[in-house]
Structure 1
């Protein structure tokens, strides 16, 4: 009765936006210029960041940001959220044959867009989930909130027997684009792109036979008691009242301290997977003495999809599966960094030789990867 229940990852799905939402460097710079919000210095700064970012020419921005002028409205933000969340969930339900009414727990995380009714309520309404569902909506928790959501779902699955949990991890760009000229607040415009993932977890013993992974560990590290760490990723207004997210120059050092604490707790069990940005990947590769193949999934995900915030770790896992590298017994360590400042880890063990699920985000392009990057 008191023994912890095993938690199985039955399947997951990453949203792949339609091709017309792709944004090439040239289009990005043209639109930035046409908005009239950025001075020449800011435009040149964005161009340099793009060139060094590790992002390719096929990442996605939401519909509203392709318009001139952009439409950062509440309605457009809801449209982006619905397209991403429902797109991932439709594919997840189709691939698993699990009925929405079978879901007992729902956890949604999105840091910057928190409407009323909540994103979790939007999912309940769309799929007509049952009235006694345990529903949670996590906001303001940054890029590492996907692991936090997994941890919360895990705890709920220890309490509620014989049920499924769905975790939806996403971020919303439409209302969080920065239209000012403060350099530290322009960086997110150049890194963050549209994406999201839906994950199906189970505590049913019978699901071990069909599940991809078993959850082994979750370790969460929070450095928010330190003022510098607390403010290194900070949503604020600039001097003329433009809202955006500021990234501190101390970010890499703070991330390193959080990572050190997290690894000390977890131990060097498996290889890291993280796509926060090229600088983060470079530092992990150097300081953990990794080979290029060990960070390939991170670099290629950043190149193909950009930084999709909390869902990045799932695009990376999907890359590893698409390459046929996930074998039975392998352990995978997902590391995510986020505002606060937090470093969170999840460790999974493959229950079989894992193949990519239908409609994987890499399905039509994995043959082109890895690509050569100019570093």
Structure 2
């Protein structure tokens, strides 16, 4: 028996501190015009000293729980998608559990890079297929500025910090709930070297006394990532729409990964989606990795754009490489 999965509540958190393009002009050789014209980003949020992924996730989770009308102790599972956890161990998901004041849940950190939120929707669907009584928190959060090389003007202008959360369960839908219609996911590990953070992992360990070098920070071959992102996001979105017997005109809103405005525009153009259907938050948040589409969805709901019957298509792409698409109907 199939148990439908519904998004019951949404929330996000972005740190108070904002770093504008004008601020970056004082840090690295760049300009507001250069950043805006190439990325669409005007500002990004930066975690405060000592503000970790678990702190941001806990706050996003509280907001999602409030939106769902649920108490934290009703949760059965916490899945946190991140590449910048507080520590190697304990997991950031365990720390979120503690900060929510609960115990005894199924908790796990998962790394799908920028595709994490959509991978999380599929994880929730899988859990609900086995445990229809479950109530799942799917969260995506990054403090990417902790792994940003502020001397590399190609990457330091792109990233910000934030967390997004969704509460997902089965059962009868309520007004405003979003049914997860379908999800398609994919990956290609042979291209992982094009977008990577090596330093500190078991494949690139540090010894006591070693200095932190450039490998500790995010590296990206921007030109190659751009090509693969556009191609794979477009293809997986087309496949998902066709798989569900729809054509692209049936899509009311498109929420792409907010990596770069040029990528977003290129994917929308290839999908023949008009600008008014494309949700964009990149100007205010920059690329916050896996949390970008969760932030965009929560804001879209808060703005009252998710009318009954609204079909929302997601397209994501991230390091690994990983990519995917989801279709949610409200």
TM-score by length of 1: 0.75
Displacement of 1:151 after TM fit?
Answer: 1.0
Displacement of 1:323 after TM fit?
Answer: 4.1
Displacement of 1:44 after TM fit?
Answer: 3.7
Q: 3-state SS of the aligned residue for 2:232?
A: helix
Q: Contact conserved, 1:168 with 1:199, CA < 8 A, in 2?
A: yes
1:252 and 1:328 mapped to 2: Cα distance? 35
1:93 and 1:217 mapped to 2: Cα distance? 23
What is the match of residue 56 of structure 1? Answer: 42
Q: Deviations over 1:306-339 (max 9, x none)?
A: 2221111122223433443322112111111111
Q: Contact conserved, 2:38 with 2:262, CA < 8 A, in 1?
A: no
Distance 1:169 1:284, change over 3 A: same
1:150 and 2:111 correspond: no
1:110 and 2:82 correspond: yes
Distance 1:335 1:12, change over 3 A: same
Higher strand share: 2
Q: Contact conserved, 2:52 with 2:86, CA < 8 A, in 1?
A: no
Q: In structure 1, list runs of 5 or more residues that go unmatched.
A: 34-42, 65-75, 351-375
Q: Contact conserved, 2:230 with 2:263, CA < 8 A, in 1?
A: no
Q: 3-state SS of the aligned residue for 1:189?
A: coil
Could you tell me which of 107, 115, 129 is aligned with 2:102?
129
Could you tell me which of 192, 217, 238 is aligned with 1:244?
217
TM-score by length of 2: 0.84
Distance 1:86 1:145, change over 3 A: same
1:161 and 1:281 mapped to 2: Cα distance? 35
Could you tell me which of 162, 184, 194 is aligned with 1:232?
194
1:284-299 matches, within 5 Å, as 284-295=267-278, 297-298=279-280
Q: Deviations over 1:24-51 (max 9, x none)?
A: 2222222x25xxxxxxxxx248973355
2:22 and 2:237 mapped to 1: Cα distance? 40
Query: Which of structure 1's runs of 4+ aligned residues deviate more than 4 A?
Result: none
1:280 and 2:239 correspond: no
What is the match of residue 17 of structure 1? Answer: 15
Q: Contact conserved, 1:221 with 1:261, CA < 8 A, in 2?
A: no
Could you tell me which of 168, 182, 185 is aligned with 1:217?
182
Q: 3-state SS of the aligned residue for 1:144?
A: helix
Q: In structure 2, list runs of 5 or more residues that go unmatched.
A: 200-211
CA RMSD of aligned residues (A): 2.3
Q: 3-state SS of the aligned residue for 1:169?
A: strand
How many residues are treated as equivalent by the alignment?
306
Could you tell me which of 21, 27, 41 is aligned with 2:23?
27
